[in-house]
Amino acid sequence: MFHTDKDLQSREIITKAVCGKGRKFSKATHTISLPNKPNNILGSWAINHTFDAEKVGDVIEVIGTYDINIWYSYANNTKTTVETETISYVEQVPLSYLDGNCSKSNLEVIATATEAPTCTDAKISENGDSVIVEVEKEFLVEVIGETKVCVVISSHGCDDEEKGLLLEEADIDSDDSEDLDPSFIIDDLD
């Protein structure tokens, strides 16, 4: 059973929603001084990654640290040791979209390291007393805030048969929701 437009009403629902998203991949080069002149680099890795994120203007700033460990040989390859250096960074992640209808107060920022800092290359510098390390990392950020959602309701309610028909007709795939335009709003339902 379907209803006429006179049977339909609308309600505004205030809810928390993802109001903005962004992603950034970055590479950085670090020069790490060593107490001994290295002969060979035996390994390099990044560990102890910690970070926090906050909205600053139209970007999300991810502020964090990680340790770079360099395992190397020295003294004509007769000894080995590991040198550790802590790296601090500030990564500005631009938002690919930000819903202007989202309330500006009480915004929550969620940042995820989709690729934790990883050493991709380590080589001895030309002067031979330090190591040049390349590190890659990637972040996905989301801004969550309060927004209004307008829903159409029927004064007759819905029966189970009608709910099933509506869901079948909608046939919405969860991947499709990323393509929705957050600025699309229906102003008048009459």
Residue numbers of the domain that contains 50: 15-148
- What is the per-residue pLDDT across 91-106, written as a single tens digit (0 to 9) for each? 999 999 888 778 777 8
In a domain, 155, yes or no: no
Q: Say what percent of the chain tops pLDDT 90.
A: 57
The CB-side HSE value for 187 (13 A sphere, CA atoms) comes to 0
Check if the beta carbon of residue 87 is closer than 8 Å to that of residue 68: yes
In a domain, 156, yes or no: no
- What is the per-residue pLDDT across 98-140, written as a single tens digit (0 to 9) for each? 887 787 778 899 999 999 999 999 999 999 989 999 999 999 9
Could you tell me which of 93, 60, 100 has the C-alpha nearest to residue 181?
A: 100
Please count the residues of the chain.
Answer: 190
Count the domains in the chain: 1
What is the Cα–Cα distance from 95 to 17, expressed in whole angstroms?
A: 15
More confident residue, 170 or 155: 155
| Mean predicted confidence (pLDDT) in 153-180 | 58
The CB-side HSE value for 151 (13 A sphere, CA atoms) comes to 9
- What is the per-residue pLDDT across 54-95, written as a single tens digit (0 to 9) for each? 999 889 999 999 999 999 999 999 999 999 999 999 999 999
| Mean predicted confidence (pLDDT) in 159-186 | 54
More confident residue, 166 or 23: 23
In a domain, 180, yes or no: no
Amino acid at 109: V
In a domain, 170, yes or no: no
In a domain, 154, yes or no: no
Could you tell me which of 108, 97, 121, 106 has the C-alpha nearest to residue 177?
A: 97
